Structure 1
Amino acid sequence: MSRAMGQVGLIMLESTAVHPQGRISMKDLGIWNEEHIEGLRELVQEIQRYGGKAGIQLSHAGRKADVDGEIYAPSPLPYKRGQTIPNELTLSQIQETILQFKEAARRAKVTGFDVIELHGAHGYLINEFLSPLSNHRNDRYGGTIENRYRFLKEIIDEINEVWNGPLFVRLSVNEYHPEGNSMEDIVYFSKRLKDQGVDLIDCSSGAIVPARIDVFPGYQVPLAEKVKQDAGIATGAVGLITNPLHAEEIVNNNRADLIFIARELLRNPYWPLKAAVELGIELKGPGQYGKAWEEAFPVLEKWYPN
């Protein structure tokens, strides 16, 4: 709610599990049963009350789940040596998981969310099916690029039956491994996603296998730009984007269609006020915040001169 008061346009609840065994940790949010709706609805209504839109990222951690009990993946391959070996999903379990995503989407609609994002990045279950590094199946869900896409395809087909709002998909556009998905593979996936009605690709990278990544402000922006150009689909840029002028450059130069900001909004839920001052845009706070923000502009202009 602080970010909504701070005038963030879209607030995304990250990594909300569609099944208890699909949590990244035991403390993850969940939307796997009806009991979750009431609490999530209260949060959504408060976000919308202050003018924001509410999004939810539906996720299953697959082999990266850190929970009590068994974990599951496309193939019995651990994320890295020494970690738990997951059980290979059977065909019937795959169908059950697809329906878990569908039911989660239905609950998201009932709850009142404005946007759904499917987490298909960072080595979680959807990413595990997409990547040849983690998917060694020899049935219709593995092997060829068409087969590796099938799990995500069928999830979206089912979600489209219960959801008609904006649908995003997060992808690891670079897997930082020579035998992982290439940019051509990612463009193939992105075109297929567009054909299925997906509105935007949230372009992240890595974490399907351990890798050293050279990170710096905007290091993933070229990924969003390439997918946008080659697949003809809207993209979101993410990754160490903290400066308003940097964010504005990315959007105005048509390198991406929106900017995802995470850690900086954890540090400062009123970051949009800083951005408004730097970019010379009038931004009014909600309710009693309005006067306080109006009085703050002369001070902030000294800190953030145009």
Structure 2
Amino acid sequence: MSHLFSPYSIKGLELKNRVVMAPMCQYSVEAKDGIPNDWHFVHYVSRAIGGAGLILVEMTDVHPDGRISDFDLGLWSDEHIPAFERIVKEVHKYGAKIGVQIAHAGRKAEDAIQPVSSSNIPVDETWKEPRALTTDEVKEMIENYKKAAKRAVTAGFDTIELHAAHGYLIHQFHSPAINNRTDEYGQDLSKFGVEIVKAVKSVMPKDMPLLLRISAIEYMDGGYELAHSLEIAQKYKEAGVDVFHISSGGEAPPGKLKPKYAPGYQVPFALAYKEALNVPVIAVGVLDDPHLAEKTLVDGDAELIAIGRGMLKDPYWSLHAEATLTGKVEAPVQYKRGF
């Protein structure tokens, strides 16, 4: 029996297999209103038909100025709920579970007139200089995350993932090289993320797990190393995070240290988190070879495998991987002849 296609449960979330569709921005909102359209419907439902166990909807923003681009999804308004609800209901028809990644781009909000961040430090000299949020605005931002999470629950999502990786707002607060604040949110670099975790958990059902994606290390010169992110993550765990989704970098252009982009290059980070924090982890990063994905689970390096670009080029990656690993596949009846 394949480990990749064995069931997995955490709290009330029961997955038919361990394949996770990683959240990947589509930049496809037509009216710049943050509302999912037919592209998003087809995109996510096709991956459910394609056999994924858990689908994570792309970075969905808690504020209009928190989008990477004006073409990104949002959950800052109740008007967003019906379109997400439609996607969730259809995904469920094919035995998949679905979560949404909620976030704020912070200083990486490219279309904002003036981005906001933990400080006024830009990504580099080619990016807009952000404005540091006031202490009161930080507290308002935490409330924005809470409201977005409540809307996600109303829409029927099975889980929620907080985006604290790749240089977005939560990451900007817990990064020593980006956060130069002197208030309480600078004195304790974990405080912003911890308060978001607690706020979001307060509106989630007790049996719904909370996921958090984090960059294990930074690649910019002077960036943080693994020990720092583990220290921050321990506080996030204590605040209520149930599963960590382990990536790296994304905060700024790499310096002397550069990501390797080799198959499985981030798996050692996932294992480090699993061992240090004693939590379930999602491994991600060029794992689209089914045998490598299987080995990552067999070796005990992670509980779940996230596939990103592999699922962009193949909506049926899960079905093909199952056929590769087991020689058989439970395809939808309409597609059985193809397998």
- Partner residue, 2:130: 86
Verify the 8 A CA contact 1:76 1:87 in the aligned structure 2.
yes
Verify the 8 A CA contact 1:170 1:203 in the aligned structure 2.
yes
Verify the 8 A CA contact 1:191 1:232 in the aligned structure 2.
no
Deviation sequence 1:29-76 (CA, Å, 0-9, x none): 111100000101101111111111011000100000012422100100
- Partner residue, 1:292: 337
Task: Count residues in correspondence.
Answer: 290
Mapped partners of 1:90, 1:138: distance in 2: 11
Give the alignment partner of residue 84 of structure 2, picking from 36, 40, 58.
Answer: 40
> Which amino acid is the alignment partner of residue 156 of structure 2?
G
Q: Which has the higher relative contact order, 1 or 2, with Cα contacts under 8 A spaced 6 or more apart?
A: 2
Structure 1 alignment gaps of length 5 or more: 297-306
Structure 2 alignment gaps of length 5 or more: 1-44
Larger Rg: 1
- Partner residue, 2:266: 220
CA RMSD of aligned residues (A): 1.3
- Partner residue, 1:173: 216
Deviation sequence 1:99-128 (CA, Å, 0-9, x none): 000000000000000010000000000000
Q: Name the SS of the counterpart of 1:148 in structure 2.
A: coil
Is 1:237 the counterpart of 2:288? The answer is: no
Deviation sequence 1:191-244 (CA, Å, 0-9, x none): 222222211111101121210322211111110011111111111111111111
Alignment of 1:116-195 (within 5 A): 116-143=160-187, 147-164=188-205, 165-177=208-220, 179-195=222-238
Offset, 1:178: 5.7
Q: Name the SS of the counterpart of 1:193 in structure 2.
A: helix
Rate the CA distance shift 1:141–1:68 in 2: closer, same or farther, 3 A. closer
Q: Name the SS of the counterpart of 2:55 in structure 1.
A: strand
Q: Name the SS of the counterpart of 1:142 in structure 2.
A: helix
Alignment of 1:106-125 (within 5 A): 106-125=150-169
Q: Name the SS of the counterpart of 1:141 in structure 2.
A: helix
> Which amino acid is the alignment partner of residue 159 of structure 1?
V
- Partner residue, 2:115: 71
Is 1:203 the counterpart of 2:270? The answer is: no
Q: Name the SS of the counterpart of 1:106 in structure 2.
A: helix
Offset, 1:265: 0.6
Mapped partners of 1:26, 1:10: distance in 2: 27
Mapped partners of 2:53, 2:122: distance in 1: 38
User: Identity of paired residues, percent?
Assistant: 41
Verify the 8 A CA contact 1:132 1:179 in the aligned structure 2.
no
